[in-house]
């Protein structure tokens, strides 16, 4: 299944303005009036979604844990490396630390 290759991002305000100008290709009133069976049929007729089976019985929803504020000293080069990655560098630092923690737990290393 080949997905569309061109993605565009819009803000909520831009989408609302487009809808007010009649530029939306979505017929929300018709969609809201559809039954679950009609929605499933519409999805299965979409060539990008045909054959996709979702097993909702195995889905687990885990709310994200809150972040804590941490002030720490790190090497200048380390900080510059992550800052050089651009926006979201703190999330990347967290991902690296989380990966380390998970590896330690799986390998029987330090348990925290």
Q: How confident is the model at residue 35 (pLDDT cuts 50, 70, 90)?
A: very high
pTM of the full structure = 0.42
pLDDT of 49 > 80? The answer is: no
Q: How confident is the model at residue 112 (pLDDT cuts 50, 70, 90)?
A: low
Q: Comparing 32-36, 50-54, 57-61, which segment has the lowest mean pLDDT?
A: 50-54
- pLDDT mean across residues, the chain: 84
Q: Which residues of 88-101 are buried (b: 16+ CB within 10 A; e: fewer)?
A: eeeeebeeeeeeee
Domain locations in the chain?
12-55
CB 111 within 8 A of CB 105: yes
pLDDT (0 to 100) of residue 75: 96
pLDDT of 5 > 80? The answer is: no
Q: What is the Cα–Cα distance from 109 to 112, expressed in whole angstroms?
A: 9
């Amino acid at each position: 299944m080949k997905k569309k290759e061109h993605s565009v991002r819009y803000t909520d305000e831009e989408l609302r303005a487009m809808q007010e100008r009649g530029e939306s290709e979505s017929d929300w009133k018709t969609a809201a009036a559809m039954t679950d069976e009609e929605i499933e049929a519409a999805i299965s007729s979409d060539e990008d979604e045909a054959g996709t089976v979702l097993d909702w019985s195995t889905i687990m929803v885990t709310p994200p844990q809150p972040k804590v504020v941490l002030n720490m000293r790190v090497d200048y080069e380390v900080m510059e490396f992550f800052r050089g990655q651009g926006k979201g560098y703190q999330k990347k630092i967290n991902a690296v630390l989380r990966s380390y923690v998970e590896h330690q737990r799986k390998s029987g290393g330090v348990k925290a």
